[in-house]
Amino acid sequence: MVVLLEEVRRIKEETLKRFEDLESLDELQALKVKVLGKKGELTALLRQMGSLSAEERPKFGQVVNEVRDYLESAWEDQLKRLEDLALQSRLKAEKLDISLPAAWLARGYQHPLTRVMEEVEDIFLGMGFQISEGPEIETDYYNFEALNLPKEHPAREMQDSFYITEDILLRTQTSPVQIRTMEKLYPQLPVKIIAPGKVYRKDDDATHSPMFHQVEGLVVDVGIRMSDLKGILLNFCQEMFGPEREIRLRPSFFPFTEPSAEVDVSCMLCAGSGCRICKHTGWLEILGSGMVHPQVLRAGGYDPEKVRGFAFGMGVERIAMLKYGIEDMRLLFDNDIRFLQQF
């Protein structure tokens, strides 16, 4: 028994000593198998228990088990030590130059005009408007006559049109969608739409393009007031240009609205204090609007004695130019990728 106990003690001490010299997890594992495994040294000692007396056996078994527990716990400590060591050395070895450029994920760019149009759409969708669309090639009736612009009306001169036949032309404004929508929806109330789209006029310089984009708006219902127009447009301008924006209405003229108003928004660049962009007035002209002319309501099928409406229209190019500081409208249609990549 003494010999056996001595052997247990030797294994214990030797193992502990070797633990401390170990440097790798593999060696540690191998040592565990060698000493504590099923075919390990301690198990081999237990097999020799047959040579002991019945009294000595449980005692010896107890000693071996104590040593086994002790070594296993020591092994756990070593395991932790070596794992720590391995982690430290891995962390020490693994280093990147984080200043290297990022992997190149696809970078596409939306055109500034569709970007602005989607933004406008989203704001009005949030206010319960539907999006309505109409043809870009229009009849004289929808583009002019139904909008209270009979043939030979001097206001037609405001817009030089592209004609296809005497009666068919490229629409000069998105306003014909007002009539088409009312015709379609009558007698439904309220009518509450915006109509984004392309329009065409015979102009081509730094501030005019022969093709450009407008967003038209129309609300028709019982009891609509001009103050509602002001409220909706204030909401829009604050969403679009920032919550501090104010608007002001100025009398204006459009054949299809009466009263008519030009809408100015306080300059977003100088906050109204005056700068080059707002020509030192603090205000930027941004929208045309007004109460729908009774003739136009009638053309859409509605009775101006029973309902009223307001309408407004804005130039998308102008908003984009203001919003992004674009000075020449032609850049918007030049499509130089160095320009497009800024959006």
Partner 1 sequence: MKVSLAWLQALVDIHLDGRALADTLTRGGIEVGGIEHLGKGCEDVWIGEIKALTKHPDADKLQICQIDIGTKTLPIVTGANNLQVGDKVPVAVEGAHLPNGLRIKRAKLRGVQSEGMLCSTEELLLDAALGGERSQGGIWILAEDAPVGGKLAAWLGQEDTVLELDLYPNRPDCLAMVNIARETASLTGAALHLPDWAQEDQYRGSSLPVGTETGTLSPIPGVAWTRDCAIEIDDPDLCWRYAGLLVEDVRIAPSPDWLQQRLQAAGVRAINNIVDITNYCMLEMGQPLHAFDRDKITGTVRVRRARAGETLTTLDHVERTLEEGMLLITDDAGPLALAGVMGGLQSEVTSATRRLFVESAHFAGVSIRRTSRRVGLASEAAARFEKGVNPYGAVATLARVAELLLELQAGRPVGLVDTQAYLPALPRVNISVRHTSELLGYLVQSDEIEKILRQLGLVYQKSGTEEFSVEIPSYRSDLRIEEDLIEEVARITGYERIPTTLPQGSQTQGRRTQEQEIRRQLRHLLVGAGMHEVLTYSFARVDQDALWGEAAQAIPLLNPLRDELRTMRTALLPGLLDIASRNRSRRNMDLSIFEIGSVYQAKSAMINELPNEILRLAGVVMGKTKKHWHAAETPYDFYYVKGLVEAIAWKFHLTFHYHVPERSEVYHPGRSAEIWLGNAKIGMMGEMHPLQEKQWDLERAIVLEIDLRPLLQKGGAGIRVSPIPRFPAILRDLSLVVREEIPAVAVNESMRKLGGILLQQVELFDVYAGKSVPDGYKSLTFSLRYQSLDETLTDAQVNKLNERILAGIQQEFGAQQRN
Return the residues of window 172-211 that contact partner 1 according to CB under 8 A: 189-190, 192, 198, 200, 202, 204, 210-211
Q: Please, which residue, 57 or 115, has the CB nearer to partner 1?
A: 115
Give yes or no for a contact between 70 and 19, defined as CB atoms under 8 angstroms apart. no
Q: How far is the CB of 311 from partner 1 (least distance, A)?
A: 13
**Span near partner 1 by CB under 8 A; candidates 9-17, 24-32, 73-81, 328-336:** 328-336
Distance CA 144, CA 276 (A): 36
- Select from 22, 234, 277, 326 the one that contacts partner 1 (CB under 8 A): 234
**Span near partner 1 by CB under 8 A; candidates 25-33, 47-55, 64-72, 231-239:** 231-239
Asked whether the CA dihedral 89, 92, 97, 103 is positive or negative, the reply is positive
Q: Please, which residue, 71 or 216, has the CB nearer to partner 1?
A: 216
- Select from 24, 88, 89, 130 the one that contacts partner 1 (CB under 8 A): 130
Q: Tokens 């998105």 sit at which residue? A: 174
- Select from 18, 230, 298, 323 the one that contacts partner 1 (CB under 8 A): 230
Footprint (CB under 8 A) of partner 1, residues 105-124? 106-111, 113-114, 118, 121, 124
Distance CA 291, CA 280 (A): 30
Q: How far is the CB of 296 from partner 1 (least distance, A)?
A: 11
The two three-digit tokens of residue 79, written as one number: 């395991």
- Select from 19, 75, 129, 302 the one that contacts partner 1 (CB under 8 A): 129
Closest CA to 268 of 288, 238, 311, 310: 238
Q: Which three-class secondary structure string do you get for 125-158?
A: HHCCCEECCCCCEEEHHHHCHHHCCCCCCHHHHH
Q: Please, which residue, 138 or 216, has the CB nearer to partner 1?
A: 138
Q: How far is the CB of 329 from partner 1 (least distance, A)?
A: 12
**Span near partner 1 by CB under 8 A; candidates 14-22, 32-40, 60-68, 245-253:** 245-253
Q: Please, which residue, 15 or 260, has the CB nearer to partner 1?
A: 260
Q: How far is the CB of 91 from partner 1 (least distance, A)?
A: 23
Give yes or no for a contact between 16 and 64, defined as CB atoms under 8 angstroms apart. no
Q: How far is the CB of 156 from partner 1 (least distance, A)?
A: 9
**Span near partner 1 by CB under 8 A; candidates 39-47, 82-90, 95-103, 178-186:** 95-103
Footprint (CB under 8 A) of partner 1, residues 302-321? 308
**Please, is 27 exposed, middle or buried when counting C-beta atoms within 10 Å of its C-beta (0-12, 13-18, 19+)?**
middle
Distance CA 95, CA 111 (A): 40
Distance CA 238, CA 96 (A): 46
Footprint (CB under 8 A) of partner 1, residues 252-291? 252-253, 255, 258-261, 291
Q: Which uninterrupted H or E stretch holds 71?
A: helix 56-93
Is 157 one of the binding residues for partner 1 (CB under 8 A)? yes
Distance CA 147, CA 126 (A): 28
Distance CA 228, CA 80 (A): 73
